[in-house]
Chains A and B, each alone.
Chain A
Amino acid sequence: MAASDIEIAEHNLQHHFADMDQQRETSTFGMWLFLVTEIMFFGGLFCAYLVYRATYYQAFVEGSQTMNIWLGATNTAVLICSSLSMAMAVRCAQTDQRKMMVILLIVTMVFGAAFLGIKAVEYHEHWTHHQFPGPNFQFEGADAAGVSPQNVQIYFSLYWAMTGLHALHMVIGIGLVTWITIAGARGHYSADYYSPVENVGLYWHFVDLVWIYLFPLLYLISKKHGG
């Protein structure tokens, strides 16, 4: 028989907290602080991006021409949908709709996997065109466009580093969602105790947030050449 809300809550109250309220507020604040560190972590890459885009704008324009805007836009839409399903899943946790919560969490993971799939397609494309920084980097058309291939390589370094770090966070996010899906399916959460769901949700939305900035910065630099 499924445990009652109160039993679930009390079972999860840790000894050093006075009550569930304190525990809930504490754990959520802890997750927000962790997201602060993530903002600064990605922030370093955004700083590098800002500096080099300002310095080598033309090279960045050329580099971003190789991006597939439609795949990028699709991925943006996919992540927004995953954020919706995640937010709705948290809502289900709040309102004790356990089955719906599990379904929505699975939907979120499917969207996440779709994002990674599309990203893999893009990466493969860039890889086969030698658009990966290092000794094998090639960028035909650099001279024709009047930019140095080395400067274009810096664009690609930032592209791979930023989207790669983002993708790594997506993978971790899917892992976290898997964990709460299983726990949720086993009835570990209730309307009085759903902090893990809420906190994983915060993490997931954050990963979406990073992509909201990555997309225009990496894909939409300039359409002077008409795509």
Chain B
Amino acid sequence: MASEEHRQHVIASSVYVGIWAVLMVLTAVTVFASFIELGDLNIVVALVIATIKATLVVLFFMHLYYSSKLTKVTMVAAVFFLFLLLALSMTDYLTRHWLTNPMH
């Protein structure tokens, strides 16, 4: 039947459950990591863990891993432009105090 050929890739249930387990573990990790004093690294650790979790959700729960190149490019583009908003705005905020008043 024509419909059989066009059926989408079906991910095994075990994969979904596996991803779920990793996400739960990472959630616990991020909570406990926040109790450890790491100074400036705390935010880095938190964001890295969050990004790993996000990547897993996007790739597997949202099937991006199995999607067309166009869809992948679209997602990357969105993240890239968000990054532009954040990064270029910060060029202002991070450098405002570089020129200090010489009278001080």
Contact = CB atoms under 8 A, between A and B. Distances in A.
Interface of A: 5-6, 9, 20-21, 25, 28-29, 32-33, 35-36, 39-40, 43-44, 46-47, 50-51, 54-55, 69, 73, 76-77, 80-81, 83-84, 86-88, 91, 94-95, 191-192, 198, 201-202, 205-206, 208-209, 212-213, 215-217, 220-224, 227
Given A5-B3, A6-B3, A55 B82 contact: no
A95 to B, nearest CB: 6
Contacts, number: 132
B103 interface: no
A163 to B, nearest CB: 16
Interface residues of B, number: 52
B interface: dominant SS? helix
A32 B76 CA distance: 11
Given A39-B78, A223-B35, 13 more contacts: A43-B82, A43-B86, A46-B86, A73-B28, A83-B57, A91-B10, A94-B10, A191-B7, A209-B54, A216-B46, A223-B37, A224-B37, A227-B35
Contacts of B74: 29, 32-33, 36
